[in-house]
Amino acid sequence: MNISFFGKIVFIVTVANIVVCNMGFSQAEKLQSQTLTKAFSYIQNLYIDSINSEEIVENAILAMLKNLDPHSQYISKDNVKMVDDLLKGNLEGIGIQFNILEDTVFIINPIKDGPAAREGIMPGDKIITAEKQNISGTGINNESVKKIFTGLKGTKIDIGIKRSGEAEMLHFSVEREKIPINSIVASYLVDDKTGYIKLNSFSSTTISEFDKAMSNFMAFSIENLILDLRGNGGGYLQTAAELCDHFIDNKKLIVFTEGMHSNKKEIVAKIDGSFEKGKLAILINEGSASASEIVAGAVQDWDRGIIIGRRSFGKGLVQRPLDLPDGSRLRLTVAHYYTPTGRSIQKSFNKGNIEYKHEIITRYNHGEFSNRDSIHFPDSLKYETLINKRTIYGGGGIMPDIFMPLDTGSFTNYFQELFGKGIIHLFAFKYANDYRHLFKQEYSTFEKYKTEFNVSEEMFEELLSIAKENNIVFKKSEYLRSKEEIRINILALIASNLFNNDNYYEIINSTDKVLLKATEILSNKKSYKKILSGK
């Protein structure tokens, strides 16, 4: 008998039985639990052929979760460590950012102070071999490359590199270490009074990263802060609450959670935050979920700042991790969370998980991304903010104070094909790599690059040639509509390769209408106050 299989079944059923007994469930419900135990036993001991026990168990768990909510989740033992590492903000590896171009692994950047950087690996290097095995050629992808270079801390990997200007292949022995994964992907000054922070997730390192960014800003005595949570799918609830604490006065409620088997738990502000008085704007969209909505909801409820963008995802459920004996894990929904006004922002999943997953597409098809008037909330979901008594709504996400439609004017099918197939990335990376020595001579700083370098017509022609080689049909009218967007992306990607990720976002954001609107409002004290007053 497969012990791990049986052990997992016993664990699940035993827990079920304990819950049934302790919660005073009916005799019928106890009978159902016993029936589940017996069915597993019959399959394991009497089935005609040999079975894949692990697969049967996983399918059984998935089937149980399928009939619950969309966010209760089973994580296989193979994926538990990866999930933990991402939330803890570190992985074990050699510390490189890479891209696969023309079936070759290129180093975009070695992570600063990481093992690869210390060994002398440089941007633009091509990785040809790993452990003397050729890794270039067809069939390689991001996941296979990650598996090669990540591994246990302390283990070494021998890498063969081809470097521009070097006749012979260079060889490095790099020891894997814990590599930090930053949740803040960009922080810079938009102007002399306004800081910008792009936060991609809420991990265990988020607060220390935020403190560092704010420390840098405070040296310039900033008065305004833009927190970009667009596309941020969430993370740790506690981290979201701690971030809110930097914006909200002491003793004010940030969030509370409650479930049928989970007592009400309130989290209140308790520290003197680093930005409790300045003007604050939070950017959200349909990809902002969970922990992002906790932050946006608390800031909105307390009239602490303005929310700009499009309606957020609408995830107001709390998951609790429950480890299983074989190393796999359940992330079981145990409670709702509520904003300080008592709003639940969880959208409905009554029509099933498939409809739930496609709800964002439904919003788009109904015109919500382009027109605020297409969004309707029933009066039963109406609430008031706690200070200025503005009308806000629960259910289905956080509705921003300032609605900004999706800007689709330059996002033609031709642009999406160029971008989606990596042609713009390929061209920008190749150009930066081919002319790296000239860039260093002519544009020694990012400021010089930003003000003096531009995309020439010759560069556009080279890009179009690469697109043609990759079977992308030229569409002149769409190309002309998207030309400015293509230009900005090329400039940003080259900047990222030559300088850093902050500089990538600084260029990309230079034409971002949502960010520009936020900057405009924050720079005008009268406009800012008017929005928060609701008048």
User: Coil, strand, or helix at residue 121?
Assistant: coil
What is the C-alpha separation between 47 and 53, in angstroms, rounded?
12
Sorted by sequence, the CB contacts under 8 Å of residue 439 that are 6+ apart come out as 432, 449, 494, 498
Q: Which domains does the chain have, with CATH numbers?
A: 3-67 (no CATH), 90-180 (2.30.42.10), 184-406 (3.90.226.10), 413-499 (no CATH)
Q: What is the mean pLDDT of residues 480-507?
A: 94
Give me the numbers of helices (H) and strands (E) for the chain, helices first please.
20, 21
Give the pLDDT of residue 11: 47
Top pLDDT among 140 and 184 is at 184
Question: Taking every pair of C-alpha atoms in the chain, what is the biggest distance, in angstroms?
Answer: 80
What is the C-alpha separation between 500 and 520, in angstroms, rounded?
26
What is the C-alpha separation between 235 and 240, in angstroms, rounded?
8
Interval 56-90: pLDDT, tens: 888 888 888 888 899 999 998 888 877 887 777 67
Rounded to the nearest integer, the mean pLDDT of the chain is: 88
Residue 179 has pLDDT above 70, yes or no: yes
User: Model confidence at 3, in pLDDT bands (50, 70, 90)?
Assistant: very low
Give the pLDDT of residue 456: 96
Cβ neighbourhood burial of 534 (10 Å; 0-12, 13-18, 19+): middle
CB atoms within 10 A of CB 522: 25
Top pLDDT among 337 and 501 is at 337
What is the C-alpha separation between 150 and 129, in angstroms, rounded?
15
Q: What is the mean pLDDT of residues 471-489?
A: 94
Q: What is the mean pLDDT of residues 46-54?
A: 84
User: Strands 194-199 and 104-110: what pairing?
Assistant: unpaired
Reported in sequence order, the residue ranges of 55-155 that DSSP labels E, i.e. its strands, are 73-75, 90-93, 96-101, 104-110, 126-130, 133-134
Q: What is the mean pLDDT of residues 192-206?
A: 95
Give the pLDDT of residue 21: 46
Structure token digits, residue 432:
């930066």
Helical pair 53-66 and 27-46, crossing angle rounded to 10 deg: 150
What is the C-alpha separation between 277 and 232, in angstroms, rounded?
25
Give the pLDDT of residue 16: 46
Interval 17-44: pLDDT, tens: 444 444 556 777 778 878 877 887 888 8
User: Coil, strand, or helix at residue 173?
Assistant: strand
pLDDT more than 90, % of the chain: 56
Q: What is the mean pLDDT of residues 315-332?
A: 91
For residue 202, the 8-state DSSP code is B
Structure token digits, residue 90:
């570190």
What is the C-alpha separation between 475 and 363, in angstroms, rounded?
29
What is the C-alpha separation between 240 and 199, in angstroms, rounded?
11
Q: What is the mean pLDDT of residues 94-105?
A: 81
Q: What is the mean pLDDT of residues 186-198?
A: 97
User: Model confidence at 319, in pLDDT bands (50, 70, 90)?
Assistant: very high
Give the pLDDT of residue 25: 62
Interval 379-407: pLDDT, tens: 888 999 999 999 999 988 999 999 999 98
For residue 290, the 8-state DSSP code is T
Structure token digits, residue 265:
């738990």
Q: Are 282 and 299 in contact (CB under 8 A)?
A: yes
Q: What is the mean pLDDT of residues 8-17?
A: 47
Active site residues: 290, 301, 315
Top pLDDT among 93 and 165 is at 93
User: Model confidence at 497, in pLDDT bands (50, 70, 90)?
Assistant: confident
Give the pLDDT of residue 138: 61
- The secondary structure of the chain in percent helix, strand, coil, rounded to multiples of 5, reads 45, 20, 35
User: Coil, strand, or helix at residue 463?
Assistant: helix
Structure token digits, residue 403:
């609605």
What is the C-alpha separation between 370 and 434, in angstroms, rounded?
41
User: Model confidence at 264, in pLDDT bands (50, 70, 90)?
Assistant: very high
User: Of 176-180, 281-285, 389-393, 399-403, where does mean pLDDT reach its minimum?
Assistant: 176-180
Residue 13 has pLDDT above 90, yes or no: no
Q: Are 294 and 339 in contact (CB under 8 A)?
A: yes
Top pLDDT among 236 and 55 is at 236
Q: What is the mean pLDDT of residues 338-352?
A: 93
CB atoms within 10 A of CB 451: 10
Give the pLDDT of residue 275: 97
User: Of 138-152, 212-226, 406-420, 504-518, where does mean pLDDT reach its minimum?
Assistant: 138-152
Give the pLDDT of residue 109: 74
For residue 379, the 8-state DSSP code is G
Write the single-letter amino acid at 68.
Answer: L
Residue 366 has pLDDT above 50, yes or no: yes
Q: Are 409 and 481 in contact (CB under 8 A)?
A: yes
What is the C-alpha separation between 87 and 180, in angstroms, rounded?
11
Q: Are 171 and 161 in contact (CB under 8 A)?
A: yes
